Structure 1
Amino acid sequence: MTAPLDRIRFPVLSGDIGGTNARFALTANETAKTERIPTIATTDFATIDDAIEAAIGDRPPGERPKTAILALAGPITGDRVKITNNDWAAEPKKMIARFGMTDVILLNDFEALSLSLPGLGPGDVDAIGGGEARPEGARVVVGPGTGLGTGALIHAGGRWVPIPGEGGHVDLGPVSPRDFEIWPNLEQTFGRMSVETLVCGSGMLRLYRGICATNGVEATLANEADVAARGLAGDDPQAVETLDLFATYLGRYAGDLALIFSAWGGVYLAGGISTRIAPALKSGAFREAFLAKEPHRHLMERMATAIIIKEDAALAGIGDFARAPSRFGVELNGRWWQA
């Protein structure tokens, strides 16, 4: 077992490393304002260590980070952690040796996002439908992006305990008559249909192509950004249906998680796709799919759903943890490396 972490050594380098982008911030001490470092494209550097070197720059020794807390897309296992959806791998022992750090802590990316949830204010979220979040209720965060991230946060023993996982890879099946029409024309991933197969950036394009094939029309849109734009504009019927079903499938999944965790603290949607297609998510399809959990619809109606609009929420969650680690019950066994 790893000893409890009561205080973290500053300066702290926070990192939110996804499949496409790496976001970094540096905090000098517990009371200092966090310095946001410009976003780095993961394709611009061969390794995560090279990206960290660029993020730190030529700072003098006293300003260089003593601790790195990095949130990675994917499960945290072993001394070499492969990052999902890009070619990087994090090796904390090598980071400590290269950068002279004392500590490296690795978290799942949506675990870091879940750490931000207690600190979100009314101006940090955009509500979808009704429901009310209880202050100490369990919370869930879901985010379609390069993949589909999922995390939960439970309040127990006076602390917030994050629950990381790879829930986006659970199975997704057809429910409505329209689903059964479309399903034979959908491209699978890894020989199966997971939620992430359809509810992510590339999944939106798969869904659009499946709808076009079902309708017997040519799929003229080449990427998910065009599908989202045309769907929001309302000038392409297939793109419009794509956004409607994307919201529906995301709502079903979010509702399943809300039932599993009894998410009285709310279910929160994160990431660029959620904010970009917010009008589609607020049009009714997402919330109705979330609620349609008979015989427990009456329970679902009392649960809040919202889109996180706070910028860099995962970095904020890491910052909250760094400043007051004892407030959180973060599991550090096998995830905390020391010099």
Structure 2
Amino acid sequence: MPQLNHSDAPLPFPILMGDIGGTNARFSILADAGAEPIHFPNLHAASFETIDEAIQKGVLDKSAARPRSAVLAIAGPIRGDEIPLTNSHWVVRPKTMIGDLGFEDVLVINDFEAQALAIASLTGDAREAIGPTQADMMASRAVLGPGTGLGVAGLVHAQHAWIPVPGEGGHIDLGPRSARDLQIWPHLEEIEGRISAEQVLCGRGLQNLYHAICKVDGIEPTLKEPADITTHALAGTDRAAEETVSLFVTYLGRLAGDVAMLFMARGGVYLSGGISQKIIPALKKPEFRAAFEDKAPHSAMLRTIPTYVVTHPLAALEGLSSYARAPSSFGVATDGRRWRS
């Protein structure tokens, strides 16, 4: 009978790795510590009744490799033997995976924990610098990901290991500072009376901010989707969209600076996700770094902390691969999250 197990023993190879979001699931198989991962086409959650069906039909039926274990990064809290995803009908049942799919060992972690694992080693073509750079330091780092929601995680460097620190940083309060902010804030959609960072810094947050700007300026909103807003903003074809993205990067810079101080992230702050990649031209304008560094009395320190956009197309899977190859280099907690046959 499969049971929860708190062992820190390495996962047995071959290892199935999965980055499971609300809409898409990405999988790869790592045959051994020296191998390159075998990647599989993205799977749409809506096309499969269960995650087990997706793994069987989308991975196992298409590969001669027989994974002995699995490490899955999921968008949702991990509690108990049945783990529902936040924005999907899928439920992860590790005991069932062991019984039906032939795994010996299943580890489930948070999706932004995997993003944090990735930024331990991203260099060169896998990232793009925003603002001044410096030589990589073996120092704590942080990652923020505006996407469907807003993910935040830290990566603390201690005792010669990288320790990912997941959390719900996307739901901290975000407040107005400038005169323009004070005009806009009353028109932002709230959640139970408060404006969290995720109410502004994600896809629907872009829409929230755009509609608030239109309301203040007496403009009829014409753009429906986040992609429409960013496209028109970058092309300079819609004034309200331009201001939306300008303020978006300003607020993202403020939050990124706060997170940098929270984790003392001298090793850098990384922006992940599709929105960050799409708005790189806006992030490279002065507003983002100015807001990031505007942290008196610690502005001088913030000026020394580099910021990057993660451009690796499969960053979370890269993070899981790094952990699978060398688990002793990472302080990944397994309590309540690992099941063994």
| TM-score over 0.5 for the pair | yes
Give distance in 2, aligned partners of 1:211 and 1:177. Answer: 13
Contact kept, 8 Å, 2:142 with 2:268, in 1: the verdict is: yes
**Unaligned ranges ≥5, structure 2:** none
The answer for the alignment partner of 2:137 in structure 1 is 135
Contact kept, 8 Å, 2:98 with 2:105, in 1: the verdict is: yes
Q: For residue 298 of structure 1, what is the amino acid of its counterpart?
A: A
The answer for the alignment partner of 1:211 in structure 2 is 213
Q: For residue 41 of structure 1, what is the amino acid of its counterpart?
A: H
The answer for the alignment partner of 1:37 in structure 2 is 40
The answer for the alignment partner of 1:80 in structure 2 is 82
Matched, 1:56 2:59: yes
Contact kept, 8 Å, 2:5 with 2:339, in 1: the verdict is: no
Match of 1:46 among 39, 45, 49: 49
Q: CA deviation at 1:45?
A: 2.0
Give distance in 2, aligned partners of 1:311 and 1:119. Answer: 15
Mapping for residues 3-152 of structure 1, pairs under 5 Å? 3-58=6-61, 63-132=65-134, 134-152=136-154
Over 3 Å counting, the alpha-carbon distance change for 1:309 and 1:160 in structure 2 is: same
Q: CA deviation at 1:191?
A: 4.5
Q: For residue 127 of structure 2, what is the amino acid of its counterpart?
A: V
Over 3 Å counting, the alpha-carbon distance change for 1:59 and 1:131 in structure 2 is: closer
Q: CA deviation at 1:263?
A: 0.5
Q: CA deviation at 1:125?
A: 1.2
Over 3 Å counting, the alpha-carbon distance change for 1:108 and 1:190 in structure 2 is: farther
Give distance in 1, aligned partners of 2:133 and 2:249. Answer: 18
Q: CA deviation at 1:87?
A: 2.4
Q: CA deviation at 1:172?
A: 1.1
Over 3 Å counting, the alpha-carbon distance change for 1:8 and 1:158 in structure 2 is: same
TM-score, scaled relative to structure 2: 0.95
Give distance in 2, aligned partners of 1:74 and 1:132. Answer: 35
* Cα shift readout 1:119-177 (whole Å, capped 9, x = no counterpart): 21222211111153652110001111111111111111111111111110111111111
Contact kept, 8 Å, 2:138 with 2:267, in 1: the verdict is: yes
Contact kept, 8 Å, 1:6 with 1:326, in 2: the verdict is: no
SS across alignment from 1:7: coil
TM-score, scaled relative to structure 1: 0.96
Mapping for residues 1-339 of structure 1, pairs under 5 Å? 3-58=6-61, 63-132=65-134, 134-339=136-341
Contact kept, 8 Å, 1:133 with 1:304, in 2: the verdict is: no
Give distance in 2, aligned partners of 1:154 and 1:295. Answer: 23
* Cα shift readout 1:221-251 (whole Å, capped 9, x = no counterpart): 0110100100110110000001011101111
Question: What is the total number of aligned residue pairs between the two structures?
Answer: 338
Matched-pair identity in %: 48
Q: For residue 187 of structure 1, what is the amino acid of its counterpart?
A: E
SS across alignment from 2:34: coil
Give distance in 2, aligned partners of 1:189 and 1:48. Answer: 31
Over 3 Å counting, the alpha-carbon distance change for 1:138 and 1:130 in structure 2 is: same
* Cα shift readout 1:65-116 (whole Å, capped 9, x = no counterpart): 2111111112222222221222222111111112011111111111111111
Q: Tell me whether 211-220 or 85-94 shows the greater mean CA deviation.
A: 85-94
Q: For residue 308 of structure 1, what is the amino acid of its counterpart?
A: V
SS across alignment from 1:208: helix
Q: For residue 174 of structure 1, what is the amino acid of its counterpart?
A: P
Contact kept, 8 Å, 2:120 with 2:155, in 1: the verdict is: no
Give distance in 2, aligned partners of 1:244 and 1:318. Answer: 34
Contact kept, 8 Å, 1:75 with 1:166, in 2: the verdict is: no
Give distance in 1, aligned partners of 2:186 and 2:274. Answer: 29
Q: For residue 271 of structure 2, what is the amino acid of its counterpart?
A: L
Contact kept, 8 Å, 1:74 with 1:108, in 2: the verdict is: yes
Q: For residue 37 of structure 1, what is the amino acid of its counterpart?
A: F
Q: For residue 34 of structure 2, what is the amino acid of its counterpart?
A: T
Give distance in 2, aligned partners of 1:41 and 1:288. Answer: 39
* Cα shift readout 1:183-234 (whole Å, capped 9, x = no counterpart): 1111123543110111011111111111111110100001101001001101
Give distance in 1, aligned partners of 2:171 and 2:105. Answer: 31
Give distance in 1, aligned partners of 2:220 and 2:88. Answer: 31
SS across alignment from 1:63: coil
